[in-house]
Amino acid sequence: MGRGGKRTWYNGDRREAKRNRPNSIYNGEGRPENLVVGEKKPKRKVACLVGYCGSGYHGMQLNPPSKTIEGDLFDAFVKAGAVSSYNADDPKKVALARAARTDKGVHAAGNVISLKLIMEDEKLIEKVNEHLPPSIRLWDVIRTINSFNPRTYCESRIYEYMVPTYAFVPPKPSSILGNCIMKNSPMPAEPINKENINQLSRSLFYEEGKEFWDDYDIAAKEILSLYEQDPEGFVNPYSKRGAAALANSENNKGSEAGVSAKTNPDMDSDSSAIVNEFLKPDSVEDESAGSKIDPSYRLERALKHIEVLKLKNYRISADRLSVIRETLNQYVGVHNFHNFTVGQAFHQKNSNRVIRSFTASDPFMIGDTEWISCKVHGQSFMLHQIRKMIALAILVVRTGCPVERIQDAFKKTKINIPKGPGFGLLLESPFFKGYNEHKAPENNRDPIDFTKYEQKITAFKHAHIYDKIFLEEARKQVFHCFLSFIDSYNEEDFSYLSDIGITEKTQEVSSKLPDVLSSDEEEDSAENKDDLEG
């Protein structure tokens, strides 16, 4: 029969196997049953402008059987008739690609995917959105040149990271990190020169830190005093329930201690719920006197409660904000970011990245917590890079570390940098300046631009991204948990934040340290990290 016949038989066998294999690209839900095989229709190369909340998703890119943003998008395209039944089993058939492959839990107000779609329906965008959850939106579908690939044509990206300002409060003096800094980084001599950003930062560590934690100690001593007077009858005077119980008690012990529902400005029922996330009992019992909950547990929860309240009530000073801005500015330029990702060596050329700007907004209030927005504009980013950049900046500011320590992290010595919480990271927009200025007009194509959807995108961010970020923080105090873990970690791993700086010993310790500073269930293999961002 010859070689040709053999090849025909072989390919036919492969086609049959492919038809019979289970389909899993639809986020594990199986191929839609309503697909009808019909005539093939012409496809057009397009750029799809999308926005999404990454909570509950295992990143942007298709990764069966995990639930991903592209999985939901592709499913919606198929159901809307923009992808034919012939191509519904494999996104590669329609050349699916993306500008930024965002990581697990990372959001995007604007991202771009490209693929070949059937463009016959004038209401395509509306129909696709009908098949998407409210947390994923298709903003526009724009015809492009046939060779368009959003990843290669994307020249830069802006990411936003939301941080509660209490994250910059100095560590407790009694914590491992706080003790390390005080032991190795002395207070600068008087008078403090505020023009010198490092002297200003160091003075804030000592003065502002002392004021904050002294205030906490006063409240903690009041709680301990109440507990010692009557352990079995102890209630938390800083919760509304506890204050009410004290006010109604026969001896009114809370009033004797100077703490009551009327006089305590820090009382907040929401904070009681937050503390429950830290110290959730096996069975929920009443916290009032006589409760079955162990008295020592009620004391522990009360102390945690007041710490949460003090942090929520923190308001950043103009001096500390100026230190933050100068710290972020250290990242601007072309630098070697091998310390800010995983599995990357100093000598690798792609360790060098371009950061065009890194800014911090003025503080703003959401509920009773103060926040700032940090925006970084860069050419491209590696896996975990932004989260590690933010984490190191926070650690440098809150420990009064010289801002030049950021520059030291670009050098060859390997250091351990934890990655900040992922839920606060948001891709604001990718940019296609070269394509918009040259390729698009030369080929009679519209530019790829998010600006005309600015109002819709802003409303979407507030409804589906910002609110999720703020609610997650209010419920779980994620940054407090993250920083408390860092503050109690092995002193040697973060001694580089003190005047000891980065030494050969720093590298020896870091090289032996596994990446245990993150609880995210992410795979950091070389195969997985190549195109991931954030």
Q: How far apart are CA 480 and CA 414, in angstroms?
A: 26
Interhelix angle 318-329/197-229, rounded to 10 degrees, is 130
Q: Which two tokens stand for residue 454?
A: 């600015």
DSSP assignment, residue 514?
-
Q: How far apart are CA 206 and CA 319, in angstroms?
A: 14
Q: Assign 143 to helix, strand or coil.
A: strand
The burial of 220, by beta-carbon neighbours within 10 Å (0-12 exposed, 13-18 middle, 19 or more buried), is given as: middle
Interhelix angle 295-312/269-278, rounded to 10 degrees, is 120
DSSP H or E stretch at residue 241: helix 240-248
Task: Name the catalytic one among 72, 103, 268, 493.
Answer: 103
In this structure, the strands spanning 369-378 and 364-366 are antiparallel
Q: How far apart are CA 167 and CA 398, in angstroms?
A: 8
Q: What is the DSSP string of 67-85?
A: --HHHHHHHHHHHTTSS-T
Q: How far apart are CA 411 and CA 420, in angstroms?
A: 21
The burial of 300, by beta-carbon neighbours within 10 Å (0-12 exposed, 13-18 middle, 19 or more buried), is given as: middle
Q: Which two tokens stand for residue 508?
A: 């020896």
Strands (E), 342-493: 352-360, 364-366, 369-378, 425-431
Q: How far apart are CA 344 and CA 496, in angstroms?
A: 21
Strand partners, 51: 137
Q: Which of 71, 92, 83 is nearest to 29 (CA)?
A: 71
Strand partners, 107: 426
Q: Which of 53, 50, 68, 481 is nearest to 274 (CA)?
A: 481
Q: Assign 54 to helix, strand or coil.
A: coil
Neighbour tally for 316: CB within 10 Å: 21
In this structure, the strands spanning 352-360 and 333-336 are antiparallel
Torsion angle, alpha carbons of 271, 276, 279, 281, to 10: 150
| Cis peptide leading into residue 65 (ω within 30°) | yes
268 catalytic, yes or no?
no
Catalytic site positions: 103
